[in-house]
Amino acid sequence: MIRLKSDKRRNFCSKVQILKFQPDHLKKALKIVLRILIVVIILILILFIGGKIYLKQHKKQVISLIETEAKKELNGGELHIANINIGFYHSFPRFAFTIDSLSIRDSLWSHHHHDLISATRVYATMDLFKLIFGKISIDRVQLENPRIYLYTDTSGYSNTSIFKKKAPPKKNLDKNYEYPILQVSNGNLIIDKKDYNKIFVFEIPNLETHINTSEEDPGLKINIDLHCIIRQMTFNKQKGPFLEGKTVAGNFKIEFNKDSKVLQFVKIRLDVDKQPFTFTGKFFLAEVPAPFTLSWETENLSFRKAASFLSKNIRIKLEPY
């Protein structure tokens, strides 16, 4: 038989009591946490439902407000929206404003009839928890079936002029601004330069970009995941397009300096028609026309594969070889 001294017995009993009461304390803590979570979720649902009801009852006014505010930022351009909704996006607590049939037009649209941007549907995704704590940030912008048409007429006028700033940008903007993820599904990009008799047409089944910033560096580090089909790259319409029907795919990084407007990339890999190429380039976008340097290299490129990248009239001449 084991006997404990009085002081050891007291210590032993106190330890037993601590062990005995710990589960109750954990249960109470868990209950409090669960109640807080339930209250927060209920508040989120109330805000969400209230916002959805308000949007449903005042949809025309909301669309009109968005179009009016957008027009202030577009020099002579217009934004048109057919419909707008709000709903949860894939998983709670993310929700999205859904815009149906969006288009952006410049002031001379009645002459050339080319929308600068049109899309059947646009998602702008936000986080409800961030919104509750007073932070409005768009996490992701997704464009479904967008068509981007960059048009320049014979006089040199471009529909992209609607983005020219009327006043210099403010210096007190947040340098650590978080850019949303941009995703494009089943898109088309057309660059139509009537002034130089050139046209470039790209089909974009998938594009996703992630932009990283820092307070110390004015440069944007952009990660791009691209799958593209070149429909035509025509530098002279009489000679025909290059790279017709060729696929371009890759996951790569580029840099853009917001101050100097220099876009550059070093030894990025792109698979062109399943042939791996390494590209290095630098584009000085602050100047018009923008000067640039571009180089590429590849290995084990067959003559027949290289010839398939050229225009049809050149391919016909090379057939005997």
Range of the domain at 225: 61-163+175-318
138-176 per-position pLDDT tens digit: 788 899 999 999 999 999 899 988 886 655 544 544 555
Q: 297 in a domain, yes or no?
A: yes
| Mean pLDDT for all residues in the chain | 80
- For residue 38, tell me if it sits in a domain: no
One-letter identity of residue 45 = L
CB contact set of 163 (below 8 Å; sequence gap of 6+): 74, 75
What are the tokens at 6?
């009085």
Output the CA angle 63-64-68, nearest 5 degrees.
120
Q: What is the mean pLDDT of residues 113-120?
A: 92
Does 51 map to a domain? Answer: no
Is the pLDDT assigned to residue 309 strictly greater than 80?
yes
| 36 domain residue, yes or no | no
If you compute the radius of gyration of the chain from its CA atoms, what whole number of angstroms results? Answer: 29
pLDDT confidence tier of residue 238, bands split at 50, 70 and 90: confident
The verdict on residue 12 lying in a domain is no
Distances, alpha carbon 56 to alpha carbons 61, 81, 83, 89, 185, in Å: 10, 15, 10, 18, 28
For residue 131, name the pLDDT band (cuts at 50, 70, 90).
low
For residue 35, pLDDT over 60 is answered with yes
DSSP state of 172: T
For residue 249 the two structure tokens come to: 């795919």
Tell me how many domains the chain contains: 1
pTM for this entry: 0.76
CB 208 within 8 A of CB 141: no
Q: Tell me, yes or no, whether 265 lies in a domain.
A: yes
